[in-house]
Amino acid sequence: GSTLQAAASERGRYFGTAIAGFRLSDSAYTTIANREFNMITAENEMKIDATEPNRNQFSYAAGDQIVNWARSNGKQVRGHTLAWHSQQPGWMQNLSGSALRSAMLNHVTQVATHYRGQIHSWDVVNEAFQDGSSGARRDSNLQRTGNDWIEAAFRAARAADPNAKLCYNDYNTDDWTHAKTQAVYNLVRDFKARGVPIDCVGFQSHFNSQSPVPSNYQTTLSSFAALGVDVQITELDIEGSGTAQADSYRRVVQACLAVSRCTGISVWGVRDSDSWRASGTPLLFDGSGNKKLAYTSVLDTL
Closest chain position to ligand XIL (CB): 276
Which one, of 72, 75, 157, lies nearest residue 113 by Cα?
A: 157
CA–CA separation, 234 vs 170, rounded Å? 9
**Residue from 88, 126, 218, 248 that binds ligand XIL (CB under 6 A)?**
126
**Residue 6 three-state SS:** helix
Q: Which is nearer to ligand XIL, 154 or 222 (CB)?
A: 154
If binding is defined by CB under 6 A, does position 65 make contact with ligand XIL? Answer: no
- My answer on whether omega of the bond before 81 falls inside 30° of 0, hence cis, is yes
Q: Which is nearer to ligand XIL, 4 or 283 (CB)?
A: 283
Among 43, 127, 151, 239, which one carries the catalytic annotation? 127
If binding is defined by CB under 6 A, does position 276 make contact with ligand XIL? Answer: yes
Helix (H) or strand (E) holding 39: strand 39-42
**Residue from 5, 145, 204, 263 that binds ligand XIL (CB under 6 A)?**
204
Angle between helices 293-301 and 242-257 (to 10 degrees): 20
Q: Which is nearer to ligand XIL, 97 or 287 (CB)?
A: 287
Between the CA of residue 298 and those of 8, 10, 12, 50, 78, what are the distances in Å?
10, 14, 15, 33, 21
Binding flags for ligand XIL, 221-260, as an x/- string (CB under 6 A): --------------x-------------------------
Helix (H) or strand (E) holding 41: strand 39-42
Active site residue 235: yes
Q: Which is nearer to ligand XIL, 3 or 59 (CB)?
A: 59
Positions annotated as catalytic residues are 127, 235
